[in-house]
Amino acid sequence: MFQAYDFIYDGIPGDEYGLMLGYVGSVSQSESSTLGANLEIYEDKIPSRTKSLFYGVEETPLEFDLSFVSCEPFSRFELEQIASSLSGKYRYCPLYICQPDLDGLHFQCILNDFKVTYIDGRPIGLECTAHCDSPFAYADPVIFSFATAGNHTIINSSSDNGYLYPKMEITIPAGSTELKIVNTSDNNRSFSIKLPQSLGTDVIFSIDENYVVSCNNSAIATPYECIDQYRFFRLVKGRNDLVITGNGTVNITCEFRKRVGG
């Protein structure tokens, strides 16, 4: 066995299965793995034309192989139970690999294509493919809380060169109607929530990374209409200088994307 590591998948540690991540047998000195930087190119080739019609590129999700090993051989019954527990997921689940260079990071993935590993005819482990929901791993959530208007800064440490749309919880206190955030690092892009009228209680808006908006107050029948121009808050890579005006509190939850490969 070579370089065995603990793991946690969907909140269940590997030792509950009697498994660790590692290799069985010898491993060649030359190894390779993907960094999740593969691009799918969209273009059309036209006869007699030198250049193609280029539409754009899209990063493909990260995939990598995993080997689960045990110090003791499994029975067929135990193996079936373990494979069923690890593979019976119908959603992306967090995978933590407990090694120093992945501390504080996790992948969102589905484990697929399981194979049994044998030594001397006895099942000793499993191999599978981890299919991730993106090209990146994710840092553990960091919450930025701003309780006052004024100037604030968030450093987006993602490896992703694109925009990051974080989760948000915004509280507009009783008697107030608007809270606005201008990101001066993003060409002064503004995000604001406007209530149709002043209400007698605090109003809490929750916005997730897929732009799903909910509100705790039944007087706001359509929370989306409170988002000015349906323009959602986002972060550019690196430094983001924010100017907050109006009354209220803002909690911004970021899971920074890291290109660490698999």
CA separation for the pair 52, 67 (Å, rounded): 42
Task: Identify the band that residue 28 occupies on the pLDDT scale cut at 50, 70 and 90.
Answer: very low
Task: Identify the band that residue 13 occupies on the pLDDT scale cut at 50, 70 and 90.
Answer: very high
Percent of the chain residues past pLDDT 70, beyond the cut: 84
Q: What is the pLDDT of residues 35-47, one digit of tens each?
A: 445 555 665 667 7
Instruction: Please give the residue that has the higher pLDDT: either 194 or 79.
Output: 194
Amino acid in the structure at residue 244: I
157 CB-near residues (< 8 Å, 6+ apart)? 139, 256
- H-helix or E-strand spanning residue 183: strand 178-183
Q: Is the pLDDT at 25 greater than 60, yes or no?
A: no
CA separation for the pair 260, 9 (Å, rounded): 18
Phi then psi for residue 63, to 5 deg, are -135, 140
Q: Is the pLDDT at 182 greater than 60, yes or no?
A: yes
Q: Contact at 8 Å (CB) between 243 and 181?
A: yes
